[in-house]
Amino acid sequence: MRAQLLTEVRADDHVPPHNVRDVITVGRLIDEWLDRSEERGRSPSTLAGYRYKIEAVIRPALGAIALEEPTARNLDTFYGAKLREGTSPASVVGYHHIISAALAQAVKWD
């Protein structure tokens, strides 16, 4: 499964559908990443899980910040806060997966 994912990521040479000079927020990036995930054939249940996590947790906490602003420290603070609130470690790992995948795609899109 990991090899397949790496192959898909390496093969994804899409250019983002926006002007790179625009201010891009984490929320906008995640929307574009989710659109690409759908185009690559992710299952409807996987996409539904992503959407739930994005809308319920990630977008309210991080969606409005500029893409250049999230640092490892900011993200660790976010994850720590979720754990202190009683969020399960598995759910926090799920949030991290989404955020990490979207940020990795942003790097590829330059």
The CATH number of the domain holding residue 48 is 1.10.150.130
CA–CA dist 102, 50 (Å, integer): 11
pLDDT of residue 110: 77
pLDDT at 8 over 60: no
Q: What is the pLDDT of residues 35-90, one digit of tens each?
A: 998 888 889 999 999 999 999 999 999 999 998 877 889 899 999 999 999 999 99
Its domain, for residue 67, covers 2-109
For the CA atoms of the chain, what is the radius of gyration?
14
What are 104's two structure tokens?
Answer: 């990795």
The angle at the Cα of 34, spanning 31 to 40, to the nearest 5 degrees, equals 145
Note the pTM of the prediction, 2 decimals.
0.75
CA–CA dist 16, 66 (Å, integer): 16
In this prediction, residues 19-41 reach a mean pLDDT of 83
pLDDT of residue 1: 56
CA–CA dist 17, 93 (Å, integer): 28
What's the number of domains the chain is made of? 1
Q: What is the DSSP letter of 1?
A: -
Confidence grade of residue 16 (pLDDT, cut at 50, 70, 90): very low
pLDDT of residue 80: 96
Cβ-proximal residues to 66 (8 Å cutoff; 6+ apart), any chain: 23, 24, 25, 26
pLDDT of residue 2: 57
pLDDT of residue 20: 46
CA–CA dist 42, 8 (Å, integer): 12
